[in-house]
Structure 1
Amino acid sequence: MQLEIITPEKKIYSGDVTAVNLPGSDGSFGLLENHAPIISTLKVGTIKVFEKDNSEKSFDVKGGVIEMNNNKIIVLAE
Structure 2
Amino acid sequence: MLHFELVTPTALVRSEDVYMVSVPGSEGDFGVLGGHAPFMSTVKAGELLIYKSAGADPEKLSIEGGFAEVNEAGLTILAEKVG
Q: List alignment gaps of at least 5 residues for structure 1.
A: none
Which residue does the alignment assign to 1:28?
29
**Matched residues in 1 for 2:40 and 2:4: separation?**
14
In structure 2, which of residues 60, 68, 72 is the aligned counterpart of residue 70 of structure 1? 72
Which residue does the alignment assign to 1:2?
3
Q: 1:18 to 1:71 in 2, by over 3 A?
A: farther
Q: SS state of the match for residue 9, structure 1?
A: coil
Which residue does the alignment assign to 1:38?
39
Q: Residues 34 and 74 of structure 2 are in contact (CA less than 8 Å); yes or no, is this contact kept in structure 1?
A: no
1:29-67 C-alpha deviation (Å, 9 max, x unpaired) = 111111100100000101111114846322111101000
- TM-score if structure 1 supplies the norm length? 0.89
- TM-score if structure 2 supplies the norm length? 0.85
**Matched residues in 1 for 2:41 and 2:31: separation?**
12
**Matched residues in 1 for 2:65 and 2:48: separation?**
10
Q: List alignment gaps of at least 5 residues for structure 2.
A: none
The CA RMSD measured in Å over matched residues stands at 1.5
